[in-house]
Amino acid sequence: MTEENNFTEEENITEEQEIRNVMSALIKHWKIGIVFIILISIAVVGLFLTLFWVIEINTLGGNGTWTIGDFSLADIIGFFLILLGWELLIVVLPTIAVLGSLFGLWWRSLPQDEKDELRNLDDKDKKKTHYGKGTGGFNFILFIAIIIIVYIDGNLFTAIGTIPYVYWFQVCVEALFWLFIFVGLPALILGLIYLKKKYT
């Protein structure tokens, strides 16, 4: 029992030290972090703007006037292939090029000891990363937000097949926006304050 307790304590100390190292690295390189966050935010906005632009110009979907009942499976596949092509061309590929170039320039400017330190942190993080946790809870909250917006719009009891399909895209984007404002942003700020107080 004593050996197990000692092992657990050592493991906790190691994890806390790793978190301190990550926080230290984030604080040291906060400027490039902010630049990346801004660029990624612009890219996300660009994704949504491109989505609605494609809906507006695309005759497959009646420029946004079709309802869900008007689509065949072939129409849906064709629409998403067209959307994917424009998203890649306008947003995804330029974003990858800009972020990749910026990261390369920043990485070259770092001293070798900092590069080694960041590589070590990245390797440890990959070993402990678990994907998929918490997505179910987020999807449920998003679904509730969509229901609230549809209710406010007066469409809760309206037949889905009578509403233009573009409306559902707009509702999803609006729900994501309000979740970010009222849930994501406060959680991010409180999380950063907590980590800063505990590990710095």
Please write the tens of the pLDDT for every residue from 24-50: 766 777 788 889 999 999 999 999 999
The neighbour count for residue 32, using CB atoms within 10 Å, is 16
One-letter amino acid for residue 61 of the chain: G
Same-domain check for residues 5 and 19 = yes
Which among 180, 171, 176, 168 is positioned nearest to 149, based on CA atoms? 171
Same-domain check for residues 46 and 145 = no
The neighbour count for residue 51, using CB atoms within 10 Å, is 19
Residues in the chain: 200
Share of the chain above pLDDT 90, in %: 53
CA 44, distance to chain mean position in Å, is 8
Q: Tell me the two tokens of residue 30.
A: 């906060």
User: Per the structure, how many domains does the chain have?
Assistant: 2
Q: State mean pLDDT over 68-73.
A: 93
Same-domain check for residues 114 and 147 = no
Q: State mean pLDDT over 94-101.
A: 95
Predicted TM-score (pTM) of the model is 0.76
Choose between 126 and 160: higher pLDDT. 160
Same-domain check for residues 89 and 136 = no
Name, of 68-72, 81-85, 106-110, the range with top average pLDDT.
Answer: 81-85
Same-domain check for residues 104 and 137 = no
pLDDT of residue 32: 85
The rounded distance, in Å, linking the Cα atoms of 40 and 46 is 10
pLDDT(189) > 50 = yes
Same-domain check for residues 101 and 174 = no
**Predicted confidence band of residue 110 (pLDDT cuts 50, 70, 90):** confident
pLDDT(67) > 70 = yes
Residue 159 is classified by DSSP as: -
pLDDT of residue 131: 53
Same-domain check for residues 137 and 123 = no
pLDDT(86) > 80 = yes
Domain finish residue from 90, 109, 129: 129
Same-domain check for residues 93 and 148 = no
In the block, tokens 């320039």 appear at 105
Q: Are the C-beta atoms of residues 135 and 37 closer than 8 Å to each other? A: no
Which residues constitute the domain of residue 34?
1-129
Q: State mean pLDDT over 57-62.
A: 92
Q: State mean pLDDT over 12-22.
A: 63
Same-domain check for residues 145 and 119 = no
Residue 161 is classified by DSSP as: G
Q: State mean pLDDT over 64-77.
A: 94
Burial status of residue 90 (CB atoms within 10 A of its CB: 0-12, 13-18, 19 or more): middle
pLDDT tens column, 1-14: 555 554 455 555 46
